[in-house]
Amino acid sequence: MGEDGGVNSSSYSPAAAGGLVLVVAAICTYLAVVATRKQRRRRPPVVGTAFHQLYHVRRVHDYHTALSREHTTFRLLVPAGREQIYTCDPAVVEHILRTNFANYGKGSFNHGNMSDLFGDGIFAVDGDKWKQQRKIASYDFTTRALRDFSGDVFKRNAAKLAGVVSGHAASNQSMDFQAIKTDRNYRWRQWCVVFVSPLRTFVRLFLQGLLMRATMDSIFTIAFGTDLNTLDGSGEGRRFAAAFDDASEFTMLRYLNPFWKLARLLNVGAEAMLKERIKIVDGFVYKLIRDRSDELSNTKAHDTDSRQDILTRFIQATTSDSGTVDYKYLRDIILNIVIAGKDTTAGSLAWFLYMVCKHPEVQEKICHEAMEATDAGEAASIDEFSQSLTDEALNKMHYLHAALTETLRLYPAVPLDNKQCFSDDVLPNGFNVSKGDIVFYIPYAMGRMESLWGKDAESFRPERWLDGNGVFQQESPFKFTAFQAGPRICLGKDFAYRQMKIFAAVLLRFFVLKLRDEKEIVSYRTMVSYRTNDYTLRRSGSPSDGYGEMRAHTLQSGHAQQLAPVLLMQVIAPCAYRNERDLQILIMSDRE
């Protein structure tokens, strides 16, 4: 500056001016290079951030659906680390699930979240570990022996479920109005009120919990060869089931809580409770494995042929020549199978029953189809009818199969799934994916895309799955993604359909289902808030084992964190859902 406050022109030299020009030129060159690279590496459009997703967490799947209607492939910005790409494009889904399968998998992101509970089980691993388990499981799931064994289990538990409903209706006929007694923590409160009329008996049910008990009993028997008997109120079985449910929920919470590793290190909050629940689960499961292993080692080979449960078959297939049994390996495998076959089926059945309540004409068609497909006759008892549901009879029930599939289209058990990219890639739509990125595909949103299903995409219409002769027609698994696709397609798909068809046929053959409140809209919930509501109380443990009292205390003191309920194969999805509340359905028994 000059003495007069002006600019001293002598301070600008030709060298300084030249330097300034060089700096400007360098900046322009850099921006040009960056722009060129961006053109070369096309990225999906950014439509929001992780904070937007957190804001919409209670209706996150509808949030994803709304975004997908604008962009079939998009990004949500995250604070740091991996990019998150979301897609509803069947071509992209096929690319990550089949075409370039080797480049996409669970990865360290998913394994880190799931490994404490699910270890190195089939849903948490990639590579050789996955291939080995898949090979053994693929063989077992295709054997006639396991198919027959599982069918008998499904029929028995379907009859037991229908018997529970019918028995509670009949047992209260002497009273006009009665509240059914429940334990003080409400864990197993499935019935709330019984209404009795001179013509029919009505039972109001909190149905989803009852279905979960029935499906848990089924998959546990098939997996372990042991009856858990949660439908009958077995104390030990209830304690395991409660701990397993909670452990699954706390594991899911890790997908929503970026600070879970710190909580685990400090052993506080949900991580502390997860550790306690896993201890209960492990104690129960390891005892079963040890007992079965000892039984098999002390039994002649031909005497074990009658055992068709999955645990027995895996022990026989994996025990070393020296007789060594890897208990941790077996524990991981079997728990993964249990989670795959438990909540997914129960949740899908709950949504199915809700949909047929909303569409009584569908309910009637299924009832008539079930009666015509079997040779049980109209006078058959519940047990007789359930036993008549042979594979041949089930294969005739095309309309029931279509109605279940239509339910899964709108309410897939895994509404959001993901794969981690192992090396840089280009998607079929031209977008680039970098190593470490997480690519999500969205079954919930895909089931609602008019571009895939037509103008009535959000309507429940089983007929869309039937040809002109009423025969069920498959759709591409990359369009209908409820069971994944490609090499990792769900091994239990046929088992799930058979169980759902058996349970649905028995219930709709003997009961007319109606919603307690026809105007009420039942939706999903992606997480449970801090407050103790009816749902949370019903999930508390039995006071008889001490576990229920502990759980009730943690909820009332506000330390429940934010539970993330699961209807999943579940660990597979970073965000799962369940019904907003247990379905309250009026059951009219003695169908005429």
Binding residues for heme: 490
Alpha-carbon distance of 162 to 127, in angstroms, equals 43
Among 392, 312, 348, residue whose Cα is nearest residue 483: 348
Q: What is the DSSP letter of 124?
A: T
Q: Where are the alpha helices (DSSP H) in 6-76?
A: 14-40, 50-55, 60-70
Looking at 174-299, list the stretches that DSSP marks H as alpha helix, in order from N- to C-terminal side.
207-224, 235-253, 260-266, 269-297
Distance CA 219, CA 223 (A): 6
Characterize the bridge pairing of strands 512-515 and 104-105: unpaired
| Annotated binding-site ranges | 490
72 contacts 88 by C-beta, under 8 angstroms = yes
Q: What token pair was written down for 243?
A: 């701990």
Name residues whose C-beta falls within 8 Å of residue 586's C-beta, 6 or more positions apart in sequence: 195, 202, 203, 204, 513, 514, 515, 516
Q: Are 84 and 437 in contact (CB under 8 A)?
A: yes
Maximum Cα–Cα distance for the chain, whole Å?
Answer: 113
Write the CB contacts of 401 (distance below 8 Å, at least 6 apart in sequence): 465, 472, 497, 501
Q: Tell me the C-alpha to C-alpha distance, in Å, between residue 467 and each of 359, 398, 462, 471, 472.
A: 21, 10, 11, 5, 7
**Would you mind telling me the total number of residues written for the chain in this entry?**
592
For 76, the enclosing helix (H) or strand (E) is strand 73-77
Instruction: State both tokens at 558.
Output: 């506000």
Measured at the CA of 140, the angle between CA 139 and CA 142, to 5 degrees, comes to 70
Task: Specify whether the CB–CB gap between 443 and 89 falls below 8 A.
Answer: no
Question: What contacts 430, CB < 8 A, 6 or more positions away?
Answer: 42
Q: Confirm if 194 and 172 have CB atoms less than 8 A apart.
A: yes
Place of tokens 């290190």: 265
Question: Do 438 and 83 touch, CB atoms closer than 8 A?
Answer: yes
* Strand-strand pairing, 191-196 and 177-179: antiparallel
> 477 near 489, Cβ under 8 Å?
yes
Q: Are the CB atoms for 112 and 99 separated by under 8 Å?
A: no
- The token duo for 61 is 């799947």
Q: What's the CA gap between 537 and 177, in Å, rounded?
A: 24
Determine the Cα–Cα distance for residues 314 and 122; give it in Å rounded to an integer. Answer: 13
Q: How far is CA 551 from its chain centroid?
A: 23
